[in-house]
Chains A and B, each alone.
Chain A
């Protein structure tokens, strides 16, 4: 509905910006979104993750550096950034060095389409959902580059797994997301149901449009099967437990990350964690009503929901073991694919009957 540029224009009472100003304002918006994301990722990847996992596993984790170990964040950052960039012999240099940058760039750019609410959305194209899903899939390419260029057999196995996994879960991811589009068109009464802001707008109001129902019309409640399938698909797409096969600590050392260190490692690591938050943002926008919620501003609610998603992902990490590659693929091709299409047909059928 309102992108960052619209919100700024409204604030200044201007009808339309000149193209140059438009670009400058958009840049400011992008910097704001980017900083928020990087801050959250920084805090959660280095400190919060360790604390949370430790609590789940009956441990204490960092507690020596600063209060509650908080200063581990600058300490870790300093350590990693001050390391020598070691490029192993025989790697495909261009691809090896480009992969981390591409990985981080792709996933942070993807946040442009996320409707944080409170006017915090950098871009809101008509095909926003498709763009967002495309960016979600883009994350596999830097992993392939990193794994293939590293000239390491563990990296090689890691990226092979990533390819198999990404292909198997691409279709379920997209199709399960598509199942909500007819609902957006129906509840939001719009011609552009793929627009991210429209998707969020359609989820306001009571469940299924029934007046007086205390439950909001979040698609988590209106489309629970799609929500569950989307959740599983997003875990697999971003290689989170129990689908973290490309990295597979105990089997492949560190998978595609094996040969990376210092800054390059930081970038890949950052991309990995930003991807979880991107998954959380997608899930929030598609199924948790975006920024809807009482009292607090929409953007804050959005970030809370996004963070809750992250907590759930970390919780899974502590409780379920990794599946095997054949189990992963058979789940993807034999169950997820069929179920997502069935759900889409069911949705269409129900709407056809109702209308």
Chain B
């Protein structure tokens, strides 16, 4: 802790020297100190931070207060050294009537989408932003739904003219000659390879992708809005299951649990920590299996062996999780201060089930590798396509297997441990290929690592001789002190899944922002796809492993 605070002081001094009028104040957030920056100089502050090693912009969230709006930036240090990990927040105040803050999208490209989201939902304008449009809601939407003053009953009238020909105004063809050689094509929202509802506005030159712009928001379900109107203790927990609804529910629940437990100072018994870790890693296996399978599906365009095998193995994990929580996908298993049930009885049988799975897994992984790497045509398609350089990945805030597939070993479980990960023996998997293949290989490697963790957790639980306490004593009403806020992240199946909670002293969060890994990963998509062939763009989309419940929330 002392190292970190010294560094914070140093960086504060540095900024004050370089930018005399930029820092207005220093606030203390639960996770790290927050620099209150001059709203018109916030990009300079973030730039200095970036130059000094804070090279990962996790999220940008806008918060409404009685007399102002705030734009909060969460920055992290990603280096190879685990001890070097550090966080810092930047806060910019904006005017109540005409909220506007200087954009940081010229410092971090990944801020582009985050700021658009903040504008869309909270109405904070970002000056000099290259593309200040709505992102989740339709462009014709009236009002900003996360604002206090927003009236949900207000009907949304859209004139026919506004929707007469939506493509025409969105994509104007230049009259010069190069534009005549290209074709604009809408891929999605309904398309076999978009894994949900993604709309890709694509410009093709023959078969080569010249320009692609993802259009998201088709699955926006107001998750943040809903969470802000529910109680911390029980009511919010079912919702995280619906973010990344493809079997990663346990990890999503953990992301919320971690943030609020730190903020409200709730202890979790060790026994429950082990169960949580076990459940999360099983979720990760299930999610990665699906990712590998669907990637193969995108390359083949047919139901193939890889997909079927992956799905079958996922089913085993799903059954284990069902035994544990009573539900297949929408687990609602974690509770503040622990978990909802103890392990299923008879325990031996359940442990046996997990053991059988982990013992068979090495053989299966060998088969997956043979199926993927032994297939020359598949290798030709997957190798060297969808290149994402590590610098670009960091620039966009990509995390998870995407970032590790580019050779950067950033894993929240390792650098910022939670649950029981610190006590266990496992490795971070990285690959230097930067291409579609290495992203898939990272997932295969992570399945093995997860299985290692699962085995260790089972060992610990089997030999457990202390009290089997599944929940600590949590007060009847969970209400963190007014004015406190916290940003924490967990390593989701897709990357850094962060939650930013601002408390106003009541039982409901004043602001709950979800930092979705898929959202940031998708924002880098045009960098990956441009210049590739159409077929490779589809494969790249598959290798990103997007779940639209999480992108759109």
- Interface residues of A, Cβ cutoff 8 Å to B: 53, 56-59, 153-154, 156-157, 161, 241-242, 244, 248-251, 253, 317-327
Contact of B193 among A56, A250, A320 (CB under 8 A): A250
Q: Is there contact, CB below 8 Å, between B299 and A321?
A: yes
> What are the residues of chain B within 8 A of A244 when measuring CB–CB?
301
Q: Is there contact, CB below 8 Å, between A323 and B381?
A: yes
Q: Is there contact, CB below 8 Å, between A322 and B303?
A: no
Query: Residue on B with the closest CB to A245?
Result: B535
6 closest A-B pairs by beta carbon, nearest first, are: A249-B301, A250-B301, A321-B299, A250-B193, A321-B300, A58-B308
> What are the residues of chain A within 8 A of B299 when measuring CB–CB?
250, 321-322
Chain A interface main SS type = helix
Min CB gap A18→B, angstroms: 53
Sorting the interface of chain B by its residue count into under 10, 10 to 19, 20 to 34 or 35 or more gives 20 to 34
A227 to B193, CA, bound (A): 36
Q: Is there contact, CB below 8 Å, between A321 and B533?
A: no
Q: Is there contact, CB below 8 Å, between A253 and B535?
A: no
A319 to B299, CA, bound (A): 11
What are 9 A-to-B residue pairs whose CB atoms are below 8 Å?
A56-B305, A57-B303, A250-B299, A250-B300, A321-B296, A321-B299, A321-B377, A322-B299, A322-B300
Min CB gap A69→B, angstroms: 16
Query: Residue on B with the closest CB to A248?
Result: B301
Q: Is there contact, CB below 8 Å, between B301 and A153?
A: no
Q: Is there contact, CB below 8 Å, between A251 and B301?
A: yes
Q: Is there contact, CB below 8 Å, between B304 and A248?
A: no
Q: Is there contact, CB below 8 Å, between A53 and B303?
A: yes
Q: Is there contact, CB below 8 Å, between A323 and B380?
A: yes
A248 to B536, CA, bound (A): 12
Q: Is there contact, CB below 8 Å, between B302 and A241?
A: yes
Chain B interface main SS type = helix
Interface residues of B in 298-355 (CB under 8 A from A): 298-305, 307-309, 312
Say if the beta carbon of B191 comes within 8 Å of chain A: yes
Say if the beta carbon of B538 comes within 8 Å of chain A: yes
Min CB gap B7→A, angstroms: 48
Min CB gap B66→A, angstroms: 51
Contact of A251 among B193, B297, B312 (CB under 8 A): B193
Say if the beta carbon of B408 comes within 8 Å of chain A: no
A69 to B297, CA, bound (A): 25
Min CB gap B257→A, angstroms: 37
Min CB gap A228→B, angstroms: 16
Query: Residue on A with the closest CB to B542?
Result: A250
Q: Is there contact, CB below 8 Å, between B309 and A325?
A: no
Say if the beta carbon of B192 comes within 8 Å of chain A: yes
Contact of B192 among A157, A250, A318, A323 (CB under 8 A): A250
Query: Residue on A with the closest CB to B305?
Result: A57
Query: Residue on B with the closest CB to A329?
Result: B207
> What are the residues of chain B within 8 A of A154 when measuring CB–CB?
185
> What are the residues of chain B within 8 A of A248 when measuring CB–CB?
301, 535
Most chain A C-beta atoms within 10 Å of own C-beta, residue among B183, B533, B535, B536: B535
A318 to B535, CA, bound (A): 18
